[in-house]
Copies of this chain bind each other. A is one copy, B any other.
Amino acid sequence: MAGSPAPVAFRPIHTRRAFEEICDRIREQLARGALKPGDKLPPERDLAQQLGVSRNVLREALRSLEMAGVLRLQKGVKGGAFVQEGDTSRMNVVMRDMLSLGTISIRELSEARVQVLDLVVRLACANARQADFEALQANVERTELFTREGRLLERVECAREFYKLLGLACGNKVIAMITDAVTEIHMRFVYAKVASSGVAMTRLGERRRQFLAALRERNVAAAARLMRNHLGAVQKMLEQDPGAMSLQIALAEINSGMK
């Protein structure tokens, strides 16, 4: 009667809970440099008392930070909560969750991967160093070994590593992290496809050799073209025999810790 509800959308208030406060305080210490990788937090019993909370609540916070890759909890005397080196694979977990929740689609992920890899190839051409070439070379040789011996599933793992090395060859860990994030799940699909159908990419070693040669010559146009073609071929392989794979099945395998 006296006016309809206002059209503004109110976001629900998250009542501030103890464990959130604790997480933030610890992150704050990390940000200001008071805590660094390798450092140890006080024992749970002490820290709980310092913060004025129960041990249970403190543990909820520590667990959350452990899941976030910030802490590592270790038992025993001389154990404790240690600040970890940053775990770059946390971004993969986020990507996986987004996919599981339907926030992003496998199609969007694949498209993004193509674009990111195009960028990565250009950057790698510009920035790759001798050590990067050697690591990629060794990877290609392992790929060919697995091909010869018919160890196709191991070859898929090898392929994932190839893209990881390529990301690192850009000389920028942020780019490397993004590259791995958009690649990991894709390779899980490939793995599941190969495992279920037995089909796999033909002439993979040859393709890799050509690509690496272009990279070594810092021939951006050639390297980018080869990568584009390769990704297209892989996509075609994945899409043939439709219905043999489903998002649910592949994701379920991913989460059941296939690796």
Contact = CB atoms under 8 A, between A and B. Distances in A.
B182 A248 contact: no
A104 B31 contact: no
A234 interface: no
A174 B104 contact: yes
**Chain multiplicity (copies):** 2
Interface residues of A, number: 67
Interface in A1-39: 12, 15, 19, 23-24, 27-28, 30-33, 36-37
A187 to B, nearest CB: 16
B91 A174 contact: no
Interface in A92-117: 93-98, 100-104, 108-109, 111-112, 115-116
Contacts of A216: none
A256 B24 CA distance: 7
Interface of A: 12, 15, 19, 23-24, 27-28, 30-33, 36-37, 56, 59-61, 63-64, 66-70, 74-75, 83-86, 88, 90-91, 93-98, 100-104, 108-109, 111-112, 115-116, 118-119, 123, 172-175, 177-178, 182, 248, 251-252, 254-257
B178 A112 contact: yes
